[in-house]
């Protein structure tokens, strides 16, 4: 299988950065050879997870999920991964089978798991099932330190725990203490779309049915507080990552005269835009050409994107913007905030800033293109019976913004785009997250007032949406 490839040892990964080009063959000593086909998650110099073909000593080949651990912390990580997998198995919980594992001092450790073909991440429709799976985990005395939907996989109606390294035990076989269970359940619920919080009482009932020992002492108010606390903490951590080098983002340029950050998964596709955004705007389809912003629809690698340039009008405008964060940076941050909260928006793909001695100049934001209708065109008939779903989705959007304590700042109709049964918010330059009730109430009232002005005061839609306005 790997005759045409040089056979590497795990220590070679430390020098490879993000893992290098694939396929690659790794020696597993007496366990055979592993041919890595694709990387799924990489922490350079520490952890490499991917799909591969394991050829054991008998010569038989099998598809596996491989976790390769190197670096100074490899021994501890290997022990955690192996112990977690054994704990899940011993308690009869669904998890990929651990097929083989070994650690060698000075080289690193590897673990090979059953590969779950045709498995997928759980979606919103699987939330009840996911809550029940977490309840069963807690009922067996286990919890997961970083419990989130990506650590579960759904296959054939069954949920599997896939991150043994985060599994911890209180007393295996005995239900977790209510406090520990509440914190862990709050962590899990905090990572689903913020609109799911409306159903917390039902989810808590499902949890109690599977784990009455821990769930009997929980109440919905305590769970809501745990969810809010965990969501705020995770959001703070996430917003720190979006402007630094990490597994999800790549810093292409950083210095006194420029800054550029992109999402790793799209960087190669939008490379032509990143190299010369002005040319792409000039040759693209112009959507807006104002004094402070120019927006164009741009083609790259056979796909469509939106590029927004934040202009500097004149010297006075330059002086006002000189000391502040660029509007592109604010839109980049708020777009990523909305995505983390599960509120639809155009996915921000790259931020480019031109600077002079670190001070703000012209900036660019590259976003995915949303092809749907805006709310003015979608609801232009004013027939509330025919547009019942769209109207209900407006209420859902405003409810999500209230839960997140966010104000948009410019709720005109063409900033709400219909996408797969929900309204997506765009043009986030003025969006703001509020800490205080008073400032949020004022900003929310302004948002509602601007939204109502999209229709004549005597129109049916204006009367219907008037109830959105607080007070």
Q: Looking at per-residue confidence, does 459 or 152 come out higher? A: 152
**Residue 386 pLDDT > 80:** no
Average pLDDT over residues 321-329: 77
pLDDT in tens, 173-201: 999 999 999 999 999 999 999 999 999 99
The pLDDT, as a whole number, for residue 285 is 95
All domains of the chain, ordered by start, with CATH? 7-114 (3.30.200.20), 124-241 (1.10.510), 249-368 (3.30.200), 375-468 (1.10.510)
Give Cβ neighbours of residue 359 (< 8 Å, ≥ 6 apart): 322, 323
pLDDT at 2: 46
For all residues of the chain together, what is the average pLDDT?
91
Q: What is the pLDDT of residues 426-453, one digit of tens each?
A: 999 999 999 999 999 999 999 999 999 9
Rounded to the nearest 10 degrees, what angle do helices 200-210 and 178-189 cross at? 130
Q: Lowest mean pLDDT of 141-145, 310-314, 342-346, name the range.
A: 310-314
pLDDT (0 to 100) of residue 381 = 65
For residue 167, name the pLDDT band (cuts at 50, 70, 90). very high
Q: How far apart are CA 237 and CA 90, in angstroms?
A: 34
The β-bridge relationship of strands 24-27 and 33-43 is antiparallel
Pairwise CA distance, residues 289 & 296, whole Å? 9
pLDDT at 124: 87
**Tokens 């929980």, residue located:** 218
Which among 30-34, 257-261, 358-362, 402-406 has the top mean pLDDT? Answer: 402-406
């Amino acid at each position: 299988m790997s005759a045409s490839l040089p056979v590497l040892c795990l220590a070679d990964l430390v020098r490879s950065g993000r893992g290098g080009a694939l396929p690659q063959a790794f020696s597993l000593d007496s366990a055979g050879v592993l041919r890595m086909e694709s990387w799924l998650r990489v922490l350079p110099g520490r952890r490499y997870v991917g799909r591969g073909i394991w050829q054991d000593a008998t010569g038989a080949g099998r598809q596996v999920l491989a976790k390769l651990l190197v670096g100074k912390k490899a021994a501890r990580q290997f022990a955690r991964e192996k112990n977690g997998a054994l704990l899940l198995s011993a308690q009869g919980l669904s998890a990929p089978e651990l097929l083989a594992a070994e650690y060698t001092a000075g080289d690193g450790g590897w673990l090979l798991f059953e590969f779950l073909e045709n498995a997928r991440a759980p979606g919103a429709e699987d939330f009840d099932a996911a809550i029940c799976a977490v309840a069963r985990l807690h009922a067996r005395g286990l919890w997961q330190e970083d419990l989130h939907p990506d650590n579960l996989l759904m296959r054939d109606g069954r949920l599997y725990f896939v991150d043994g390294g985060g599994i911890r035990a209180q007393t295996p076989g005995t239900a977790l203490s209510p406090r520990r269970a509440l914190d862990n359940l709050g962590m899990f619920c905090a990572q689903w779309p913020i609109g799911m919080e409306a159903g917390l009482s039902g989810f808590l009932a499902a949890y109690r049915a599977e784990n009455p020992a821990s769930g009997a002492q929980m109440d919905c108010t305590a769970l809501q507080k745990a969810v809010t606390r965990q969501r705020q903490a995770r959001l703070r951590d996430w917003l720190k990552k979006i402007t630094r080098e990490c597994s999800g983002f790549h810093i292409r340029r950083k210095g006194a005269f420029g800054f550029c950050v992109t999402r790793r998964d799209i960087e190669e596709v939008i490379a032509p835009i990143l190299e010369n955004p002005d040319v792409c705007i000039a040759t693209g389809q112009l959507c807006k050409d104002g004094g402070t912003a120019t927006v164009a629809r741009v083609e790259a690698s056979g796909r469509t994107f939106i590029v927004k340039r934040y202009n500097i009008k004149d010297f006075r405008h330059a002086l006002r913007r000189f000391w502040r964060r660029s509007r592109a940076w604010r839109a980049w941050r708020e777009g990523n905030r909305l995505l983390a909260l599960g509120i639809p928006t155009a996915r921000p793909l790259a931020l480019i800033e031109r600077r002079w001695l670190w001070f703000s100049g012209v900036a660019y934001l590259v976003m995915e293109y949303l092809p749907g209708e805006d709310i003015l065109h979608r609801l232009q008939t004013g027939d509330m019976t025919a547009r019942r779903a769209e109207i209900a989705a407006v209420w859902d959007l405003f409810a999500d913004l209230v839960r997140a304590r966010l104000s948009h700042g410019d709720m005109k109709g063409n900033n709400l785009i219909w996408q797969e049964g929900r309204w997506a918010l765009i043009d986030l330059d003025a969006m703001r997250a509020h800490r205080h009730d008073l400032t949020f109430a004022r900003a929310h009232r302004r948002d509602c007032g601007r939204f109502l002005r999209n229709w004549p005061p005597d129109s049916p839609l204006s009367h219907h949406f008037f109830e959105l306005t607080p007070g």
